[in-house]
Amino acid sequence: MVVQGIRKATVGQNGVGAFILQCKRLDFHYCDWAGSSKGMNSFLKNSLTKFAALNPQVEITVSPRPRRHPVIRGTYINGREKAICVRNLTKEQVLQKAELLRDANGEKLKKVTKPVKSINESVRGVWSPYHDGGIHV
């Protein structure tokens, strides 16, 4: 056995092949009493069933959070959480926030400066000073 095999694990590329939505769970917290939950309560009564039916891959829980502002909390596959306070928002704005959390991937927001991010090797290769004639001084 002159050639040995090194054991490694493959790296997932979500979207190449199968796509897994990164948002696992959305928790909707509301308050029955406070006025800041008005839009949230209206969302829960009128739009949540449709939203849940359209997004079956997200587990949805609804729970009260008395005397507090309404919050939507997303749990992601990478283990992170994102929470958005939806106080005083209308039903439509709450839906927008829920969709924002659903589409997020759970990672911290960062500035994207490069047009392409890839784990593939460069097709062109790295420039080498020892090839193509080199520099003659």
Contact 65, 109 (CB under 8 A): no
Tell me the window of 33-41, 54-62, 65-73, 90-98 that interacts with other proteins (CB under 8 A).
54-62
Contact 113, 119 (CB under 8 A): no
72 DSSP β-pair partners: 28, 84
The one-letter amino acid code at 10 reads T
Report if residue 116 touches other proteins, rule: CB under 8 A.
no
Residues belonging to the chain: 137
Using CB under 8 A, which residues numbered 24 to 53 contact other proteins? 24-25
Contact 105, 21 (CB under 8 A): no
In the numeric block, the tokens 């694990």 are attached to: 9
Please state, as a whole number, how many other Cβ atoms lie within 10 Å of the Cβ of residue 2.
3
- Which of 35, 63, 113, 121 touches other proteins (CB under 8 A)? 121
- Which of 46, 61, 100, 103 touches other proteins (CB under 8 A)? 61
- Which of 67, 111, 117, 131 touches other proteins (CB under 8 A)? 131
Report if residue 85 touches other proteins, rule: CB under 8 A.
no
Taking the complex as a whole, the smallest distance from the CB of residue 49 to other proteins amounts, in Å, to 13
- Which of 32, 45, 49, 59 touches other proteins (CB under 8 A)? 59
Contact 43, 93 (CB under 8 A): no
Binding site for other proteins (CB under 8 A): 1-14, 16-18, 20-21, 24-25, 56-61, 77, 119-121, 128-131, 134
